[in-house]
Amino acid sequence: MNSPGHEVLNAFAADVVAPMFSLLGDSPVMQAAREQILKLAASSVPVAIYGESGSGKELAARDIHSLSARSQQAFVPVNCGAIPESLMESEFFGVRRGAFTGATEDRPGFFQAAHRGTLFLDEIAELPLSMQVKLLRVIQEGKVRKLGSAREEPVDVRILCATHLPLAQAVQQRAFRQDLYYRLNVIELRLPSLRERREDIPLLCEALLRRQLKRVGPVTLTAEAVAALKAHDFPGNVRELENMLERAAAFASNGVIGAEDLMPRSLPSCAAVSCPQEPSAEIGPVPADTSSFALRVRAFERQLIIDALREARFRRARAAERLGISLRQLRYRMQRLDIHEPD
């Protein structure tokens, strides 16, 4: 039975049955991670996702949600490190109309928004202790009360969290409540670094370049470029690879990225930030192509922030002050521009 029609039917069936993952990679470690995700998607237990920066923690959380029975409901990602402490309670639990001046109508919080769906608490280790107590109560009771309201409302929320720090260590240092840790850390999902799965690099490059197709047109990598990438350590993992390809694609001539296009001296690489002793990278020759305007602005902004961080000896509050922006803005920009302090 090998009629063309039969084949089409098979292909269709495979499409329907095969789970759709955003998390790519054929290496044994990635296959194992995906298998675990599939199992986790079938239940509603809380999962703590661990992995280096840029290793795909948020993507894994999205996969767990979209493969679960909750996929038709909301996935609500929350960066716990980016919300001012004074606003946390209202952001998480909502505000009742009239609770304070300006609260002209009821406003739902993250919990209400994630009702029947998934709440993804990113950078959970940055949650202040005062908020940890409140979060624990909501998780235990399955009910939230809006700020200024006397009424509790039931919420059905699956909680996923992520951190690049070992949460158990934060517990030992008394920066994280042990009771909340046990509630959140029911199952651990660990994502491998890109160094541990170098064989996935060609496949990832192809997928990442395809994502940029609309913006930069078709781009290929030379064999030397692939070899150079396979030899690189990627402290910023897939996000670093993504940024590197985006930059290289903007500089590449005739749609071909060579090894020399990958880490041009003119732009700071992620590795440069991880090593404070290194002399500051310079903003180099301006590429002629005007479509790279956004990339040049990005590189400039990145350099300003890196310099301020170095001058402030990586004390973020001081660096923010120097730059004349809020600490929150600095955090946000560091995340967006893939800037990480040395450990």
Ligand X SMILES: Nc1ncnc2c1ncn2[C@@H]1O[C@H](COP(=O)(O)OP(=O)(O)OP(=O)(O)O)[C@@H](O)[C@H]1O
Closest CA to 165 of 332, 49, 79, 77: 49
Q: How far apart are CA 263 and CA 231, in angstroms?
A: 13
From the list ligand X, Mg ion, none, partner contacted by residue 59 (C-beta under 5 to 8 A by kind): ligand X
Give least dist CB 122 to Mg ion, A: 5
Could you tell me the two tokens for 183?
């509630």
Q: How far apart are CA 315 and CA 109, in angstroms?
A: 31
From the list Mg ion, ligand X, none, partner contacted by residue 235 (C-beta under 5 to 8 A by kind): none
Give least dist CB 218 to Mg ion, A: 29
33 exposed, middle or buried (CB, 10 Å; 0-12, 13-18, 19+)?
buried
Give least dist CB 106 to Mg ion, A: 30
From the list Mg ion, ligand X, none, partner contacted by residue 132 (C-beta under 5 to 8 A by kind): none
Give least dist CB 153 to ligand X, A: 30
From the list Mg ion, ligand X, none, partner contacted by residue 23 (C-beta under 5 to 8 A by kind): ligand X
Q: How far apart are CA 158 and CA 42, in angstroms?
A: 12
Closer Cβ to ligand X, 210 or 315, answer by number: 210
Closer Cβ to Mg ion, 22 or 172, answer by number: 22
| Maximum CA extent, the chain | 73
* Alpha-helical segments (H) within 124-269: 129-141, 167-172, 178-184, 201-211, 213-216, 223-231, 237-251, 259-262
CA 172 to chain centre: 26
Chain positions contacting ligand X, by CB under 6 A? 23-25, 51, 53-59, 164, 204, 238-239, 242
Give least dist CB 55 to Mg ion, A: 9
Give least dist CB 59 to Mg ion, A: 8
Q: Are 28 and 169 in contact (CB under 8 A)?
A: no
From the list ligand X, Mg ion, none, partner contacted by residue 46 (C-beta under 5 to 8 A by kind): none
Give least dist CB 148 to ligand X, A: 33
Give least dist CB 290 to ligand X, A: 25
Closer Cβ to Mg ion, 61 or 221, answer by number: 61
Closer Cβ to ligand X, 122 or 261, answer by number: 122
Closer Cβ to ligand X, 201 or 281, answer by number: 201
Q: What burial letters (b/e) apply to 105-140, b meaning 16+ CB within 10 Å?
A: eebebbbbbbbebbbbbbbbbbbeeebbebbbebbe
Q: How many CA atoms lie within 13 A of 45 on its CB side?
A: 16
From the list Mg ion, ligand X, none, partner contacted by residue 54 (C-beta under 5 to 8 A by kind): ligand X
Closer Cβ to Mg ion, 58 or 126, answer by number: 58
Q: Which residue is nearest to ligand X (CB)?
A: 56
Give the CA-trace dihedral at 307, 311, 316, 322, to 10 degrees: -80
Among positions 46-65, residues that touch Mg ion (CB under 5 A) are 58
Bridging pattern class, strands 118-122 and 158-163: parallel
Closer Cβ to ligand X, 89 or 196, answer by number: 196
Q: Are 137 and 179 in contact (CB under 8 A)?
A: no
Q: Are 300 and 286 in contact (CB under 8 A)?
A: no
Closer Cβ to Mg ion, 54 or 94, answer by number: 54
Binding site for Mg ion (CB under 5 A): 58
